[in-house]
Structures are given as structure tokens and as C-alpha cells.
Amino acid sequence: MSKGKMGFWSVLAVGIGGIVGGIFPTIGLAVQLTSKGAPIAFAIAGVVVLLTTYAYAKLSVAYKSRGGTVTFLNQAFGTGLVSGSFNMMLWLSYVVMLSLYLSAFGSYGASFFAESDRFFWKHLLINVVIVGISGLNLLSADLIGKAQSWIVGFKLGILLLFIAMGIWSIDFEQLELTDLPDIGPLFSGAMMIFLSYEGFELIANTAEDVVNPIRTLPRAYYSAVVFVILLYVLIAVVTVGTLPVEQIVAARDYALVKVARPFMGQFGVVLLTIAALLSTTSAINATFYGSARLSYVIAESKNLPNVLAKKVINLQHVGLFMTSGLTLVFANLFDLSSISTMGSAGFLSIFAAVNLANVRLYQQTQSYRWISLVAAFSCVAAIIVLWERTAQTDPQTLWVMIVMIGLAFGLDFVYCLFTNNKFRL
């Protein structure tokens, strides 16, 4: 693959496209958890992401690689059991995220059909989309960037129209902060919806294909994250300012469609449904672009079998097909809504490790260590809050999280056991 094909706007589209798909399944949940504090919850989660963005921007410039997070952890901690296990966790977390996005796409798409046929159409759409995006990723990074730019452009246009029309319909009495939860529930609610920001780190996986990466990568990181924070907060303001909390919670799974109906009518409902389809499509595309390359870099660092690094069509790798296959299995056979919390915990753990990696490599990345130390502390605090809440409200999900972590460490341990790799921390 030739280098230097992706400019600022294509890279920005990968970042925004990888994030914004999370607003549709989480806005209703945010209102349920934090009531009128939903805008504050999105802002809190956004601050944690913004702090971590500093480490990613610095590391991406210093270590330009398609491996992104995997490369950063290997550079800081070597290729031992710990870094290998975090890499495995990252890959599994991406598979979970892809499956969640696919499930959402299938559900929204199937809503156009009769209720008795929705199960069939949902799974047909899941399979068609993952096969189509797998094919797209066999083509050049330039084509991926162009497709992502168009998808993100259409999606954001609809969401910005929703905000513009919604602001004029806000009942400002409903925005009075009289029913805010205490700081504890507000913070835990923010971490429950942290998953809605996952995807910004995919910019790191474009580094080898970027024009003028020293300038382009940091601008793309900060622009994507700040823009999405503002977008989410404004969407949350319109949501809680338009309908009573009870009505939003009652329609939690399709909250934005419910909110849009009073001031956008049936036309708005159709538009928001289209936006949901475009959002999940672009999120799948951006996430797949990064995750399909993870297996190659993990294999190069001897944490997965070398067959995953073998090249196929157009210099892509067997790992692309393995990611597609695992995603299809999860998306078609499992209900993944109950483990979305596990996804948040997984990515928070990985982001904490990346921040610590930047602390360790601060001389090479020319960073201020204290910023990444604060970011790492924020991620760890968020994990503690998330696990505590999950233990109280959903013990089964907590066990799923434990199994996923055990699987990540177990797979790497078994691979090391049957190879010549040494067990290094």
C-alpha cells in the first residue's frame, strides 16, 4: 500500500465516524441513568476521552504504524504476557463493538419492514453489511477515506438539522437543574455511556497512510473529540429539553426518533432512522478499518499465530477475514446489549495502559508526563466506579466482563505455552 494517501478530512472522518454511531443506543440510557443530567454526563465522559487523546496524539506521531494501540503498548512494555493480553483484549473488544454496531444497524433497518419479518431482515442486513465493508477494506485506504467522508457528511447533516430544529422547540422549564442526581450516580452514569465515545483511537491506525502526519494527526484527534463532545452535549440538551424524562426512558432504545417526532414530524422520524443507519455504517467501517489490522500487528509481535500476518488481496491480511468471521458469529448468535458495559470497561482499561505507555515514553514522544498521569488516574477511577455499579445492578454482566478479561489473558498464555515465546511481563 502506498503511503500518504489520506489527508486531514479523511482522517477526521475516520475519527468522527468511529465515534458518533454510539449516540443512538446511549442517549436514552443516559437519560435513564442521570435524568436531566444527561448533558453533564456526556461532558464528563468526554473530558476523560479528551485527556487520553493527548497520549494518542503524541504516540501516533512518534510511532506511525497501522497497529496503533498495539504498537504503543509493545513499544512501552515489550512483547510479554501483559502487553500481549491487553492487545488481545483490544481485539476482542473491537469484535464486540462491531457486533453491537451491526446489531443496531440490523434493528434500525428491519424497522422498515413488517414486525413478523424483522428477525429475518435484521440478520440478512447484518451479513450483507459486514461482507460489504470487508470488501471495501480490501481496497485502498484512499477509497475508505472517501467513502467515510461521504457517510459522515450525510449523517452529521441530519444530526445538525435535528439540533437546529430542536433548539427552537426546547421547553426551557424542563432544563431547570432541579432533579439532578448526586455526583456519584452522575459520574457512574457517565462511565456507563463512555462506550459512546469509543472510536477516536482508530485515527492511530491510519498513521502510515496520512499526508504530513506530524501536523495532520494531532489536528484530527483534537478536532474529532472536541466536535463530538459538543455534538453529544447539544443532542442531550435537545433531548431532555423537548420531552419529559419519563417519555424518553419509555422509548430508550429509539429515544432520538421519539424526540424528533414533535418538531420534525414523520419526515423527521425517517431522517433520524436514516441517520442511525448511516451512523452505524460509518462506525462499522471506521472500527473495521482499525480492528482488521490489529491481528497482523499482534501476530508480528508473536502474540498470535503467524498465519494472521500472511498477505492476501491488495496487501491486506488473513486477520481481516478472521475479524469478519468472529464478528458475524457474535452478531448473529448473541444478544450483546447486556455486555455493553463490558465494552466500556475493556476500553477504559486499554486507555489507562496507553496513558501509562506515554508516561514511560515521554522523552521519545516529547510529552508532559503529568497530563497522561491524570488521564490514567481518570480511567482507573472510571473503571472502579463502573465495576462497583455493575456489581450492584447487574452481577451477570460483571461475570461476563471477568470471563472476557480471563479469555484475553488465557489466549495469550496458551499461545506462549505452545510456542517458543518467553513469559515476560
Of 51, 44, 94, 46, nearest to 358 by C-alpha is 51
Q: Up-side HSE of residue 50: CA atoms within 13 Å toward CB? A: 14
Region 290-304: mean pLDDT is: 57
Structure confidence at residue 103 (pLDDT): 77
* Selected residue with higher pLDDT from 211 and 294: 211
pLDDT in tens, 45-71: 999 999 999 999 999 999 987 778 888
* Selected residue with higher pLDDT from 282 and 346: 346
Of 101, 124, 100, nearest to 112 by C-alpha is 124
How buried is residue 2: exposed, middle or buried, by Cβ count under 10 Å (0-12/13-18/19+)? exposed
Domain ranges of the chain: 8-417
The answer to whether residues 17 and 148 touch, using CB atoms and an 8 Å cutoff, is yes
Region 65-90: mean pLDDT is: 80
Distance, in Å, from the CA atom of 74 to the CA atom of 67, rounded to the nearest integer, reads 10
Q: Which one-letter DSSP state was computed for residue 172?
A: G
Using the predicted structure, report yes or no on whether residue 412 has a pLDDT greater than 80: no
- Calculate helix-pair angle for 318-333, 255-300, nearest 10 degrees: 140
CA angle 59, 64, 66 (to 5 degrees): 110
Q: Up-side HSE of residue 350: CA atoms within 13 Å toward CB? A: 31
- Joined together, the cell numbers standing for residue 62 give 512518534
The answer to whether residues 344 and 42 touch, using CB atoms and an 8 Å cutoff, is no
Structure confidence at residue 297 (pLDDT): 57
| Average pLDDT over the chain, rounded to an integer | 80
Using the predicted structure, report yes or no on whether residue 298 has a pLDDT greater than 70: no
pLDDT in tens, 224-247: 999 999 999 999 999 999 888 888
The answer to whether residues 289 and 151 touch, using CB atoms and an 8 Å cutoff, is no
- Which amino acid belongs to residue 83? S
CATH H-level superfamily of 8-417: Amino acid/polyamine transporter I (1.20.1740.10)
The answer to whether residues 111 and 273 touch, using CB atoms and an 8 Å cutoff, is yes
pLDDT in tens, 139-155: 654 555 555 667 778 88
Distance, in Å, from the CA atom of 227 to the CA atom of 221, rounded to the nearest integer, reads 10
Q: Which residues contact 274 (CB under 8 A, 6 or more apart)?
A: 158
Using the predicted structure, report yes or no on whether residue 176 has a pLDDT greater than 80: no
Reported confidence tier of residue 2, pLDDT bands at 50, 70, 90: very low
Region 389-406: mean pLDDT is: 78
Give residue 313's region: left, alpha or beta (phi > 0; psi -120 to 50). beta
Question: Helix, strand, or coil here: 368?
Answer: coil
Of 369, 341, 416, nearest to 29 by C-alpha is 341
β-pair partners for 210 = 6
The answer to whether residues 281 and 136 touch, using CB atoms and an 8 Å cutoff, is no
Q: Up-side HSE of residue 83: CA atoms within 13 Å toward CB? A: 23
For the chain, give the percent of residues with pLDDT over 70.
81
DSSP class per residue in 152-206: HHHHHHHHHHHHHHHHTT--GGGG-TTSPPPHHHHHHHHHHTGGGGTTGGGGGGG
Q: Which one-letter DSSP state was computed for residue 394?
A: -
Distance, in Å, from the CA atom of 381 to the CA atom of 104, rounded to the nearest integer, reads 29
